[in-house]
Structure 1
Amino acid sequence: MSTTALPAAAGRPWRARLRFDASPVQVAAALLVLAFLLAFLLVPVGRVFLAAFTDGSGSLTLVHFGDFFRTSLFRESFLNSLYVAGMSVVVASILAVPLAIIVSRFRFPGAALVSTLGVLPLVMPPFVGAVAMQLVFGRNGSLNLLLMDWFDVRLDLMDGLNGVVFVQALHYFPFILMNLSASLSNIDTAMEEAGQNLGARGFTLMRTIVLPLALPGYLAGASLVFVKVFDDLATPLLLNVTNMLAPQAYLRVTSVGLGDPMGYVIGVILVVVSILAMGGAALLLRGRDYSMQQRGGGGLGRREMSAGQRALAWGFVVPTLLLVLAPHIGIALLSLATVWSFSPLPDGYTLAHFSTVLRETPQFLTNTLLYCGLAGLIDVVLGVTIAWLVLRTRLPGRRLLDMLAMSALAVPGLVLGIGILRSYFGVQLPDGTALATSWIMLTIVYAVRRLPYALRAATAALQQVHRSLEEAAENMGAGKVTTLTHIVIPLMAGGLAAAFVTSFATAAVELSATLVLATRDVDAPLSYGIYVFMQSPAGRGAGAALGVIAVLTVAICTFAANRLAERERRRRTRQEGTAP
């Protein structure tokens, strides 16, 4: 009886399955990234979930969630958070959708102005905007004082939950504006023409053809607004609204202590609702086809405006842009005011507030530069490493690293801060301070929170580096690491610089995690200083000065990121134009 020789791997299938194409350097890089994400993202969030689902003896239980929903304050806070997030989406949509249609559908002479000023609210941190909005639209703000003098009418725009809705909608509506404008611009002209051929005109065409095709962009922006508002801590606190989930979680942890399970239960609910909101937007689009078949320019056909349409457009755009600029004007006036109380404008102007904060509390600025600079560097290193592992290796599980890093988007800063406290509060540094409340941990938390932005920028930059350049270097004898450090990273420089400044700018105004982890003024950054100063009327001038510094910091970094990205695009265009 004869036998047929089989390949060795066929006789030992288990060994074939264990073989993978990866070098020791790749494995070591993946393990280091995984260790970082485990230590400072998965473990802290996991500790929050574990504390919420276990009792004192460590047994699994749902009793804490039962206590949560049996407590009237927590039920009210949950419903209030849903109301504020939902209404913020509604109000933001009222502002953003008409602006997006005007800019994308018509030849509007103010389109460039709308596109520029429409994203301006994102430059100002929402908690800084909250104080400015009180000055302009509050019960004794400039608007109401003028209305009382002229018409004996008062508008309660900033009272209670509606005040939070007003501030949050005005701050976050650019997310809908940018995403919806991009979707409208990508609609194939042929789709609109087909609708017109079938008799659709005006509002009917907009309702049945244009807006349904732009739904992905709208839902992307709306889900971002909902998640950002639902998780926000600082704005409700500064407006003295505590009957919402994020403020309740913060108050439970800081007043009752780390042993109180309610703070962890609220943290779990915040994470779950964030995931459901983002997942729900994707489910709404499932089974529908929004793809276009145009080639070349494509895009929605822009129409000339009639005189009446132009008047209506300006009648909407001008008040909206005034709303956009109101917080910036208010915080600038407050930072320069000698006294501003019960009057439409300050009684006088001075630079003393800037002198005070720079002379007496310079650590707020220097700490911000240090922490956010280090966080940006960490994000760039991790982003490049993960992007390289995903795009340039065949290491098993590399996609999992990308998913783990991106999951930080769904974790609110408050939840991560609470998890860090529970995980590392007992770890002592040589000087006796707890690791969880040290400046080192603040830096790490900033890096974890902003890693998704840097990762996407690094991935985009690496995708533009052709593999043939790496192969040429390797053919000349260069190793993988040498090729990465001497060829790939220099070619990614523009994208990585943009990733760094984006991470730096957004970390500079992080407050939710900062309030939980910062315990000493000497170690605190700008965002903490603004919050502390704004707690008393006497300190609001200094707080506004810090707010202006924060806004300028973010604005400069945002401008630098855009310039770097634009320069990189021009460089790539020139390279493609000169390629054979």
Structure 2
Amino acid sequence: MTFTFIILAIFILFIIYPLVLVLYKSFLDPISNKITLSYFIKFFSKKFYWSTLVNSFKVTICATFLSVAIGLPMAYIMRSIKISGSGILDILIVISYLSPPFIGAYAWIQLLGRNGALTKILNSMFHTKLNGIYGFAGIVLVFTLQSYPLVYMYISGALKNLDNSLNEAAESLGCTGVKRIFTIIMPLVMPTIFASSLLVFMRVFADFGTPMLIGEGFKTIPVLIYNQFMSEVGGDDGFAAALCVIVITVAILLFFIQRFFANRNTYSMTALKPMIAKKTTGIKNFFAHLFVYFVVLLSIIPQVVVIYTSFLNNNGGQVFTGGFSLKSYKATLFAKDNSVIMNTYIFGLMAIVIIVILGVLISYLTVRKRNLFTSLLDTITMFPYIIPGSVLGIAFLFAFSRKPLLLSGTALIMIIAFSIRRMPYTIRSSTAIIGQISPSVEEAAISLGASEIKSFAKITVPMMMPGVLSGAIMSWVTVISELSSSIILYTTGTQTLTVSIYTEVIRGNYGNASAYSTILTLTAILSLLLFFKLSGKREISI
């Protein structure tokens, strides 16, 4: 019980307390110090402000729908038809997902911006003047190509548990391939579709890097929050807090709606006869390969572009002058003050240590020691799962910018933010692992004289470790790619790779941005290979 209270106190301090302060500031008049609704009235009474919320919904709904429309058939095709090079394609899909969305936005600017390589070719061929990828369509394109892999991985995992005899029975009754997807496959994987759609929705809804880079006049609410809080001229903490409350309310409502529909459409499946990819021929095989290769090509283009441009010769990182050179790496990787790379790795590793230790303890307490307090702990630890990173960053600055809890500007606040943000994923995976370990194993150790703590440390933890470590590697990749909270909390001394990439793009230093992006991409690839080595898998399904 002592451990429960200590961990509960930590999460109350770093989740509940900051969020309560955000709520308080959203209703506080800074002049009279009285409770007021003026910030919310300001938001809903001016189209300039509330239209950003509408824009966010437009982008998010479209990107989520398109991600499902691509991810579902991709997963079904890869599970049912033998696709040449499927192992490599799986890895490429995962790599495209692990890359931050704003890198995709930057890469597409290089291709389809007003002066992009493809834009110049199209303008020359058709004697026109295209305005580039900017605005609503560009944002949706970037988010869709970066988010569909999440839907693909979730549904691919669900299809593993699908009994293929249902599929074969439908086929024997004359049900065509497309009809089978809508009448058999989709209803059975509907809870998975809801779960992955929620993750896509929340990720897109909370992201500000992509709309900031290519949105131009099309502003979303994360961009508005960032501008209101960080603006050197006209910044308004109270109004930013009110915007955060609106976003949190929307996120919580969406979370409970998803849970409601998922619980109503839950099925128990046992794959007595699992789906096996079969070799096909003719037009079906041709279009299956064409669809998969085309989607993977589009999704991996950003990584190819940033790696390619990182080796282009440039003038100070801004203007590419033709030919190839290592100037971008000399200005970044071999710079005298190269703390951003070390910061990224050190902060990430420290965050992963915290995530693994607390994640294992929390999952053990919530499964083996279920009571009112562990149930409360389980609920609180899920909050960062649905709260955008920028909101958490602002909440941290409200809470920890004065003594005795003066953490703002330090590396510690970055590490804590990373840990809190990624904790729910490790807790959920660890909870699933513990659920598969019989309590009788621990009881046997206790009956032989071992203490409860010793039994947990010597028996339970080693049995959990393979799964926990594999999950930790994937959490590590998401931690080093974190931008939303980092951009709010960083200082010159605590800058990370993602922040550096973003700031270099904003400054127009595309060479430097490409070099930093390449380092981040290679780190993700090496981490993915390590995941495969430790887990013994050759694919990732959730």
Give the TM-score of the pair, scaled to structure 2: 0.90
1:561 is aligned to 531
1:5 is aligned to none
* Alpha-carbon spacing, 1:305–1:276, altered in 2? closer, same or farther (3 Å): farther
Instruction: Kindly state the Cα deviation for residue 39 of structure 1 after the two structures are TM-superposed.
Output: 0.9
Structure 1 position 524 matched with structure 2 position 495: yes
- Given candidates 357, 371, 376, the residue that maps to 1:381 is 357
Instruction: Kindly state the Cα deviation for residue 227 of structure 1 after the two structures are TM-superposed.
Output: 1.1
1:39 is aligned to 13
Structure 1 position 535 matched with structure 2 position 506: yes
Task: Measure the CA separation in 2 of the matches of 1:258 and 1:32.
Answer: 37
2:516 is aligned to 546
Task: Measure the CA separation in 2 of the matches of 1:340 and 1:183.
Answer: 50
1:388-427 maps to which residues of 2 (within 5 A)?
388-427=364-403
* Alpha-carbon spacing, 1:393–1:205, altered in 2? closer, same or farther (3 Å): closer
Instruction: Kindly state the Cα deviation for residue 392 of structure 1 after the two structures are TM-superposed.
Output: 2.8
Moved more, 245-254 or 478-487: 478-487
Instruction: Kindly state the Cα deviation for residue 550 of structure 1 after the two structures are TM-superposed.
Output: 1.3
Deviation per residue, 1:155-208 (Å, 9 max, x gap): 656111222111111111111212233334433334334434554334333333
Deviation per residue, 1:78-114 (Å, 9 max, x gap): 1111111112123323432332232133344454444
1:162-561 maps to which residues of 2 (within 5 A)?
162-196=137-171, 198-239=173-214, 241=216, 243-255=219-231, 260-288=237-265, 290-292=267-269, 294=270, 296-299=272-275, 305-339=280-314, 347-358=322-333, 359-427=335-403, 434-519=406-491, 521-537=492-508, 539-561=509-531
Q: How many residues align?
A: 532
Task: Measure the CA separation in 2 of the matches of 1:230 and 1:394.
Answer: 34
Q: Is the 8 A contact 2:227 2:235 kept in 1?
A: no
SS of structure 2 residue aligned to 1:338 = strand
* Alpha-carbon spacing, 1:403–1:354, altered in 2? closer, same or farther (3 Å): same
Instruction: Kindly state the Cα deviation for residue 394 of structure 1 after the two structures are TM-superposed.
Output: 4.8
Task: Measure the CA separation in 2 of the matches of 1:221 and 1:544.
Answer: 30
Instruction: Kindly state the Cα deviation for residue 70 of structure 1 after the two structures are TM-superposed.
Output: 0.7
2:75 is aligned to 100
Sequence identity percentage: 28
* Alpha-carbon spacing, 1:295–1:253, altered in 2? closer, same or farther (3 Å): closer
Task: Measure the CA separation in 1 of the matches of 2:9 and 2:418.
Answer: 17
Task: Measure the CA separation in 2 of the matches of 1:487 and 1:371.
Answer: 30
Q: Is the 8 A contact 2:164 2:273 kept in 1?
A: no
Task: Measure the CA separation in 1 of the matches of 2:195 and 2:321.
Answer: 41
* Alpha-carbon spacing, 1:396–1:117, altered in 2? closer, same or farther (3 Å): same
* Alpha-carbon spacing, 1:534–1:494, altered in 2? closer, same or farther (3 Å): same
* Alpha-carbon spacing, 1:101–1:497, altered in 2? closer, same or farther (3 Å): closer
Tell me which amino acid in the other structure corresponds to 1:281.
Answer: Q
Q: Is the 8 A contact 1:258 1:422 kept in 2?
A: no
Instruction: Kindly state the Cα deviation for residue 154 of structure 1 after the two structures are TM-superposed.
Output: 6.0
Q: Is the 8 A contact 1:438 1:523 kept in 2?
A: yes
Tell me which amino acid in the other structure corresponds to 2:64.
Answer: V
Q: Is the 8 A contact 2:123 2:130 kept in 1?
A: no
Instruction: Kindly state the Cα deviation for residue 421 of structure 1 after the two structures are TM-superposed.
Output: 1.0
Task: Measure the CA separation in 1 of the matches of 2:436 and 2:208.
Answer: 38
Q: Is the 8 A contact 1:124 1:551 kept in 2?
A: yes
Instruction: Kindly state the Cα deviation for residue 75 of structure 1 after the two structures are TM-superposed.
Output: 1.6
Q: Is the 8 A contact 1:428 1:435 kept in 2?
A: no
Q: Is the 8 A contact 1:130 1:238 kept in 2?
A: yes
* Alpha-carbon spacing, 1:200–1:493, altered in 2? closer, same or farther (3 Å): closer
Instruction: Kindly state the Cα deviation for residue 51 of structure 1 after the two structures are TM-superposed.
Output: 2.0
Task: Measure the CA separation in 1 of the matches of 2:537 and 2:142.
Answer: 35
Q: Is the 8 A contact 2:212 2:219 kept in 1?
A: no
Instruction: Kindly state the Cα deviation for residue 230 of structure 1 after the two structures are TM-superposed.
Output: 0.6
Deviation per residue, 1:482-523 (Å, 9 max, x gap): 22233332333323322432332211111111111113x222
Task: Measure the CA separation in 1 of the matches of 2:60 and 2:46.
Answer: 21
Tell me which amino acid in the other structure corresponds to 2:421.
Answer: R
Runs of 4+ aligned structure 1 residues displaced above 6 Å come to none
Tell me which amino acid in the other structure corresponds to 1:271.
Answer: I
Tell me which amino acid in the other structure corresponds to 2:103.
Answer: V
Task: Measure the CA separation in 1 of the matches of 2:131 and 2:419.
Answer: 39
Tell me which amino acid in the other structure corresponds to 1:488.
Answer: T
1:64 is aligned to 39
Instruction: Kindly state the Cα deviation for residue 367 of structure 1 after the two structures are TM-superposed.
Output: 1.1
Instruction: Kindly state the Cα deviation for residue 266 of structure 1 after the two structures are TM-superposed.
Output: 1.4
Task: Note the residue ranges of structure 2 that are not aligned, 5 or more in a row.
Answer: none
Task: Note the residue ranges of structure 1 that are not aligned, 5 or more in a row.
Answer: 1-26, 570-580
Task: Measure the CA separation in 1 of the matches of 2:119 and 2:259.
Answer: 42
* Alpha-carbon spacing, 1:313–1:388, altered in 2? closer, same or farther (3 Å): closer
Tell me which amino acid in the other structure corresponds to 2:304.
Answer: I
Q: Is the 8 A contact 1:157 1:166 kept in 2?
A: no
Task: Measure the CA separation in 1 of the matches of 2:256 and 2:462.
Answer: 37
Task: Measure the CA separation in 2 of the matches of 1:297 and 1:185.
Answer: 10
Instruction: Kindly state the Cα deviation for residue 465 of structure 1 after the two structures are TM-superposed.
Output: 4.0
* Alpha-carbon spacing, 1:156–1:88, altered in 2? closer, same or farther (3 Å): farther
SS of structure 2 residue aligned to 1:78 = helix
Q: Is the 8 A contact 2:191 2:263 kept in 1?
A: no
Give the TM-score of the pair, scaled to structure 1: 0.84
Q: Is the 8 A contact 2:433 2:467 kept in 1?
A: yes
Larger RCO of the pair (alpha carbons < 8 Å, separation 6+): 2
In our comparison, the structure showing a higher alpha carbon Rg is 1
Task: Measure the CA separation in 2 of the matches of 1:228 and 1:306.
Answer: 38
Tell me which amino acid in the other structure corresponds to 1:250.
Answer: Y
